[in-house]
Amino acid sequence: MYTLFYGTFIHTPSINEIEIRTNTLVGVDPTGRIDFIRYNYSKSDRDPVKFFFTNHTPSEPIKNFNFQDHSNNPLQFFFPGFVDTHIHASQYPNVGIGIGVPLLDWLKEYTFPTENAFKQENMEMARDVYTKVINRTLQNGTTCASYFTTIDLPTTELFSDLLIKYGQRGFVGKVCMDHNEPYPEYAESFTDCIDVQQKIINYIDQKYPKERREKLITPIITPRFAPVCSEPLLETLGMVSKSQNLPIQTHIAENLKEVELMKELFPKFENYASVYDHFSLLTNRTILAHAVHLTDKECEIISERKCSISHCPTSNTFLSSGEAPVKKYLKHNINVSLGTDLSGGFESSILSIMKHSILVSHHLAITKRHSDPKKEHKDDKLSINEVMYMATLGGAKAVGLSDMVGSFEVGKKWDAQLIDLGGKDSSMDIFEWQVPSGKVVSKEYTDKVEQLLGKWVFNGDDRNCRKVWVNGKVVIDKEVKREDEWVLV
């Protein structure tokens, strides 16, 4: 189906820029590709449908056509789908459990036993958990996510099937770990780990070749973190990534005791980043989760290798790991994205992660001001436009899809969400004088829209996310279809 969308479009083409486009007409072809964008289009001058058929020649005959007009509601806008760059699907049952327990103890007490239950004999349990985490994140506007599963093959294959079934764009990370001293029951031999890793790659490639080409599902090499991996395993995973052109995800410098453990296990390396770098695991398609305690030298290495960081503020707070200095990483020209990190993190919504990212940056500035009261430390504080970028285009860049998703551009895929700040079940109250009115192209109008974005970031939740599209297809629809909302031609 070919679809015309008309209304207000908001995105962040760069980290320091919010672009608010009112009265915009966007065409999405049957493959889910953004076909054209027409800014400042007044439907009062010319009917959008007539304009389309008069001025546009599609590459193929249009059999079905849909027009969705949201221009009459000043509290609705289209926004790119969120990209969650760090999430543990198998840990979803543990959300909210274990607050304040240090990372290594938390893994041993809660996480490893839960992940170890994902086996062939517990397929229905795995199906229930994986179905719920995929749908919960979709409900919150996450159109793309980079997942950790477990070490188990059958349940990881099941997870791949469920991603395709429910339509979320996803990266499937079979966890690799062959040296789990804290919890030896949950580990693999080196041989089994590499064997299962290749089997999940083959499973996805052979069962979903079309979806692989469209980058709807991608295997991602996932050494859990250095302390639970042997050097031969790290070396081999680096080789697998290079030979099969696959992205990489792992953890780095999340917790100070973790960093100490890494130094004990890898004494010949200068720092955490140099371990990964030595085994060719730092590339322009590597996602490094947390990065709370990086040294300047590590920042230089990560920047040179063009890796991305997944900032996980709720998890870093919940486990008392620390406050990641995100602005420091941005100054090193490192791409920063956002991750929910379920279940260290307690929120399945990237919108909430945006809010917590700002708050954590303010706390970091406050802490520095206490030790150095003569300075404001404003440079540590993140802005709304910065976290919006990290949640969308920054995330897309981290997963290697910035040419496909993350913003509204001709040629990109329609991975998007319809946001409605009004309505009976809205999470916030908006007063009459706050509603944008008058000429939609005026600065006064867009200033009010920008103010409402602040309300959305700090007061919004899944109730404001009314529709979600992935690759041009509706995957979540909370809307009641009204006559004035869409017209089928």
Distance in angstroms (rounded) separating the CA atoms of residues 250 and 234? 11
Q: Contact, 266 vs 275, CB < 8 A?
A: yes
Most confident of 243-257, 355-369, 426-440: 243-257
Hey, what are 28's tokens? 């999405």
Distance in angstroms (rounded) separating the CA atoms of residues 452 and 428? 10
Q: Is the dihedral of CA 242, 244, 245, 250 positive or negative?
A: negative
Per the document, the length of the chain is 489
Please report which confidence band the pLDDT of residue 49 belongs to, taking 50, 70 and 90 as the band edges: confident
Strands 473-477 and 465-470 come out as: antiparallel
Prior bond of 280 cis (ω within 30°): no
pLDDT value at 43 more than 50: yes
pLDDT of amino acid 110: 96
Least confident range of 112-116, 268-272, 366-370, 471-475: 366-370
Return all residues near 123 (Cβ < 8 A) that are at least 6 apart.
154, 155, 158
Q: If DSSP codes are grouped into helix, strand and coil, which group holds residue 214?
A: coil
pLDDT value at 485 more than 50: no
pLDDT value at 117 more than 60: yes
Residue type for 374, please? K
Question: Across the strands, what pairs with 17?
Answer: 14
